[in-house]
Amino acid sequence: MIKMKISDLGEKKLIKRIIANIRSHLKDFNIEGLGDDAALIDMGEEYIVATTDLLRQTSHFPEATTYEQMGWKSVTVNISDLAAMGAKPLGFLVSMGLPAHMRVEEFDELLGGILKACDHYRVPLIGGDTKEADEIILAGAAIGRTLKGEVLWKSGSEEGDLVGVTGQLGLAAAGIKILLSKMGEVPVAEDLLSRIMDHALKPRARLKESLLIAKSHLVNAATDITDGLVSELNELINASPRTIGIRLYEEKLPIPSEVEDIARFLNEDPLELGIYYGEDFELLFTLPPENVTPLRDQLDFHIIGEVTTTGTIEMVDKEGRTYILPVKGYEHLRG
Amino acid sequence: MIKMKISDLGEKKLIKRIIANIRSHLKDFNIEGLGDDAALIDMGEEYIVATTDLLRQTSHFPEATTYEQMGWKSVTVNISDLAAMGAKPLGFLVSMGLPAHMRVEEFDELLGGILKACDHYRVPLIGGDTKEADEIILAGAAIGRTLKGEVLWKSGSEEGDLVGVTGQLGLAAAGIKILLSKMGEVPVAEDLLSRIMDHALKPRARLKESLLIAKSHLVNAATDITDGLVSELNELINASPRTIGIRLYEEKLPIPSEVEDIARFLNEDPLELGIYYGEDFELLFTLPPENVTPLRDQLDFHIIGEVTTTGTIEMVDKEGRTYILPVKGYEHLRG
């Protein structure tokens, strides 16, 4: 008999396996949000919201990443999960694996990046642990709170809703691809390049926008798109109790022309960078058409598609042809 | 100039450096418990209590540890930090680094151990993350709650208090030393050996006892002794706003004779196993002499010494001679 390895399963399937395993374990507890971006603990009028996310140096940080950027990102990935639920952060904790040969000043940079990000999101660093490890490992956990009526679930999309996304797509991916290509001179203006690198190496979670969206009561479902737009659209589809689908319009996707230029230069598909690669810390949400204008008064966002009942993710390309997008993500455990 | 490495500092000093760094960062937040076993977030009538602790296969688990025991222990170390504060667990999260070649059934054992421990402590597993890593890394985080009047601080010891400890000392250390010695046949009865191995590989946090102690209002200070008794006594001394010391009595230490037998057989110092090695998940506390009897009505514990004003940890040996115990711990980052 051939024994299956977890790398044969992949990360998403492994998480599904975990969730299936813990459903019966959880039946005696008041826990909601299983399979959503963060878990919710029922505290009466509000929920305590909690999430954890682990980054390690060799697989999550391009070589050019500074220690400060590593620390910053470990906060951002966790805060983004709170933002995806509409939760206000209460505290951040980080367990660090650190190489024994790491210099004290390097450690101070790493901690400095964590503290700068915590200050940026107005969240206190409340706990930590340090252990020796072969490489830098940053296992963060974030705790937040939200009123019960203001949770941003993955599950609430309705047929006819429009699909919105904050910010632009593919900037982080373009930056990481530039770093990985090691091609040196990329034909991009200095200020744009530095903006792209900032997206790739020092991303900002859309916390303020998330709290605005949660308070507005104008959206039906939301998540973040750090695992890639298509992968997260698929999450919205899977979370819905009814069969829904999503139709995207290529011409509406906010992929900047500069991302397209960089993709061409690096021999990459710009659409791949924009909708599959992930690492853009933007929010994705669905809302009734009549809510678009009221929400636009509070927040910039792009409408990129609509909710259907097909069970699939369709793309209408720039020539008006419709095709079905395969669901694939960038999975760390896929061998 | 010679650059200092973090291994030159050691884990305790590194944590002190972190705490010094984050004091100014925290001044705008309502956070207490910095430097205690877990951090406290002010929620009005109660605190939310949070902690994180990272374990990795090669440095925290003897080779004989099963996957189930690894999972169990990752829960226990975090729950023990909540217990040390008198907090009732609300939820457990775990970020896992997993080798790609790990078999699915091995992963199921690991997750099974986590869930068994969660069931044992009546705490829901509410979140997780999985990433590929070279070895198993389990970064747990536990969230709890406690009423403001029932927090078990490290700082409240008073001169004349007696020093209490739950359970016995050195069992876990004896078990780990047996495993590391690889000497095969150790002259210990089968049932005792299995009890010792259980302490070493599948430790139980003293959660029930902690909640009893917190509700009793009979103790002045408390912590757990997972880093070793002397190291934790030193924490109580450092946390006190006044200069205090601790006097221990060797004959009162609950080090079982079997631990002494095993130590002799392995050429180890039994006192070293009992008061320095750590890994015993017991609670340490100080309380006024008149509170000993009322607390004994609710809980088994041993009185091992008293609180002094010397600023040091003294030991009165079995011949009545007093000497000062050096403060040392088993530190993971010490090179």
Query: Which residue from A59, A91, A105 is facing B50, i.e. has the nearest CB?
Result: A91
Chain B residues in contact with A80 (beta carbon < 8 A) = none
Nearest chain A residue (CA) to B133: A56
Q: Where are the alpha helices (DSSP H) in chain B?
A: 6-9, 11-26, 57-60, 67-85, 104-121, 171-181, 190-201, 207-216, 229-239, 257-265, 270-275, 292-296
Give the tens place of pLDDT for each residue, B30-60. Answer: 888 888 889 999 998 999 999 999 999 988 8
Q: Which residue has the higher pLDDT, B8 or B331?
A: B8
Q: What is the DSSP string of B111-149?
A: HHHHHHHHHHHT--EEEEEEEE-SS-EEEEEEEEEEEGG
Nearest chain A residue (CA) to B124: A26
Output the average pLDDT for chain B: 92
Query: For position A15, what pLDDT does the model report?
Result: 81
Task: Walk across the sheet containing A313-316 and list its strands.
Answer: A221-224, A283-287, A162-165, A302-308, A245-249, A313-316, A322-324
Q: Which amino acid is at B291?
A: N
The reply to whether residue B93 touches residue A126, judged by beta carbons under 8 angstroms, is: no
Model confidence at B184: pLDDT above 70: no
Task: Walk across the sheet containing B137-147 and list its strands.
Answer: B31-32, B39-42, B46-56, B137-147, B88-98, B125-132
Q: How far apart are CA B130 and CA B128, in angstroms?
A: 7
Fold of A6-150: 60s Ribosomal Protein L30; Chain: A; (3.30.1330)
Q: How far apart are CA A213 and CA B117, in angstroms?
A: 38
Query: Which residue from B11, B104, B118 is facing A5, i.e. has the nearest CB?
Result: B104
What ipTM is given for this predicted complex?
Answer: 0.90
Do B6-150 and B162-324 come out as alike in CATH topology?
no
Query: Which residue from B53, B124, B332 is facing A95, i.e. has the nearest CB?
Result: B53
Res. A334 pLDDT band, cuts 50 70 90: very low
Chain B residues in contact with A94 (beta carbon < 8 A) = 52
Distances from the Cα of A23 to the Cα of A35, B122, B167, B186, angstroms: 11, 15, 35, 43
The total of other beta-carbon atoms located within 10 Å of residue B62's CB is 16
Res. A329 pLDDT band, cuts 50 70 90: low
Number of residues that this document lists for chain B: 335
* Nearest of B125, B105, B71 to residue A52 by alpha carbon: B125
β-bridge mates for residue B153, sequence order: none
Distances from the Cα of A209 to the Cα of A86, A212, B308, angstroms: 9, 5, 55
Answer whether B125 touches A (CB < 8 Å): yes
Query: Which residue from A59, A105, A129 is facing B54, i.e. has the nearest CB?
Result: A129
3-state secondary structure of B41: strand
Q: What is the DSSP string of A20-76?
A: HHHHHHHTTS-EE-TTSSSEEEE-SSEEEEEEEEEEEHHHHS-TT--HHHHHHHHHH
Q: Which two tokens stand for residue B250?
A: 């060797």
Give the tens place of pLDDT for each residue, A118-171. Answer: 999 999 999 988 998 999 999 999 999 999 999 999 999 999 999 999 999 999
How far is residue A40 CA from its own chain's centroid? 18
B196/chain A closest Cα distance in angstroms: 26
Give the tens place of pLDDT for each residue, B12-23. Answer: 788 888 888 888
Answer whether B15 touches A (CB < 8 Å): yes
Give the tens place of pLDDT for each residue, B298-319. Answer: 999 999 999 999 999 999 999 9
Q: Which two tokens stand for residue B211?
A: 């909640």
Res. A335 pLDDT band, cuts 50 70 90: very low
**Apex CA B6: angle with CA B3 and CA B9, to 5°?**
100
Mean of pLDDT values over B114-131? 94
Query: Which residue from B17, B25, B139 is facing A139, i.e. has the nearest CB?
Result: B139
- In sequence order, the 6+-apart residues with CB closer than 8 A to the CB of B64 are B179, B201
Model confidence at B335: pLDDT above 50: no
A24/chain B closest Cα distance in angstroms: 10
Query: Which residue from A54, A59, A105 is facing B129, i.e. has the nearest CB?
Result: A54
Please report where in the chains the tokens 């919201």 appear, as a residue.
Answer: A49
Asked if residue A90 lies in contact with residue A145, where contact means CB atoms within 8 angstroms, the answer is yes
Chain B residues in contact with A12 (beta carbon < 8 A) = none
**Radius of gyration of chain A measured on its C-alpha atoms:** 20
Domain ranges of chain B: 6-150, 162-324
Give the tens place of pLDDT for each residue, B18-37. Answer: 888 888 888 888 888 888 88
Number of residues that this document lists for chain A: 335
Helix A257-265 with A171-181: angle, nearest 10 deg:
20
Mean of pLDDT values over A190-214? 95
* Nearest of B177, B165, B202 to residue B277 by alpha carbon: B177
A–B interface: beta-carbon pairs under 8 A: 228
Please report where in the chains the tokens 């940026």 appear, as a residue.
Answer: A120
* Host H or E run for residue B40: strand B39-42
- In sequence order, the 6+-apart residues with CB closer than 8 A to the CB of A244 are A157, A158, A159, A236, A237, A307, A308, A309, A311
Chain A residues in contact with B26 (beta carbon < 8 A) = 124-125
The reply to whether residue A94 touches residue B52, judged by beta carbons under 8 angstroms, is: yes
Chain A residues in contact with B127 (beta carbon < 8 A) = 38-39, 50-52
The reply to whether residue A7 touches residue B59, judged by beta carbons under 8 angstroms, is: no
Query: For position A184, what pLDDT does the model report?
Result: 67
The reply to whether residue A5 touches residue B133, judged by beta carbons under 8 angstroms, is: no
Query: For position B187, what pLDDT does the model report?
Result: 79
Range of lowest pLDDT (A112-116, A145-149, A327-331): A327-331
Asked if residue B154 lies in contact with residue B231, where contact means CB atoms within 8 angstroms, the answer is no
Query: Which residue from A4, A50, A128 is facing B18, i.e. has the nearest CB?
Result: A128
Give the tens place of pLDDT for each residue, B235-287. Answer: 999 999 999 999 999 999 999 999 999 999 999 999 999 999 999 999 999 99
Residues 27-66 of B with CB under 8 A from A: 29, 31, 34, 38-39, 41, 48, 50-56, 59-60
Q: Each residue of A90-108: b (16+ CB within 10 Å) or e? A: bbbbbbbbbbeebebebbb
Q: How far apart are CA B99 and CA B104, in angstroms?
A: 11
Query: Which residue from B4, B104, B118 is facing A4, i.e. has the nearest CB?
Result: B104
Query: For position A1, what pLDDT does the model report?
Result: 54
Phi-psi region of A142 (alpha: psi -120 to 50; beta: other; left: phi over 0): beta
Q: Which CATH number describes the domain made up of A162-324?
A: 3.90.650.10
The reply to whether residue A127 touches residue B21, judged by beta carbons under 8 angstroms, is: no
Model confidence at A268: pLDDT above 50: yes
Chain B residues in contact with A8 (beta carbon < 8 A) = 104
Nearest chain B residue (CA) to A37: B127
Nearest chain A residue (CA) to B7: A100
Please report where in the chains the tokens 């952060």 appear, as a residue.
Answer: A89
Query: For position B94, what pLDDT does the model report?
Result: 96
The reply to whether residue A54 touches residue B97, judged by beta carbons under 8 angstroms, is: yes
Nearest chain A residue (CA) to B330: A131
Answer whether A18 touches B (CB < 8 Å): yes
Chain B residues in contact with A38 (beta carbon < 8 A) = 127
B116/chain A closest Cα distance in angstroms: 9
Query: For position B330, what pLDDT does the model report?
Result: 59
- In chain A, what is the straight-line distance between the N-terminal and C-terminal CA atoms, in Å? 20
Helix B190-201 with B171-181: angle, nearest 10 deg:
100
DSSP E strands, B282-327:
283-287, 302-308, 313-316, 322-324
3-state secondary structure of B302: strand
The reply to whether residue A127 touches residue B50, judged by beta carbons under 8 angstroms, is: yes
Local structure of residue B167 (DSSP, 8 states):
S
Answer whether B19 touches A (CB < 8 Å): no
Model confidence at B11: pLDDT above 90: no
Model confidence at A32: pLDDT above 90: no
Query: For position B328, what pLDDT does the model report?
Result: 80
Query: Which residue from B39, B111, B128 is facing A127, i.e. has the nearest CB?
Result: B39
Q: Which two tokens stand for residue B110?
A: 């690991």
The reply to whether residue B4 touches residue A51, judged by beta carbons under 8 angstroms, is: no
Q: What percent of chain A has pLDDT over 90?
A: 77
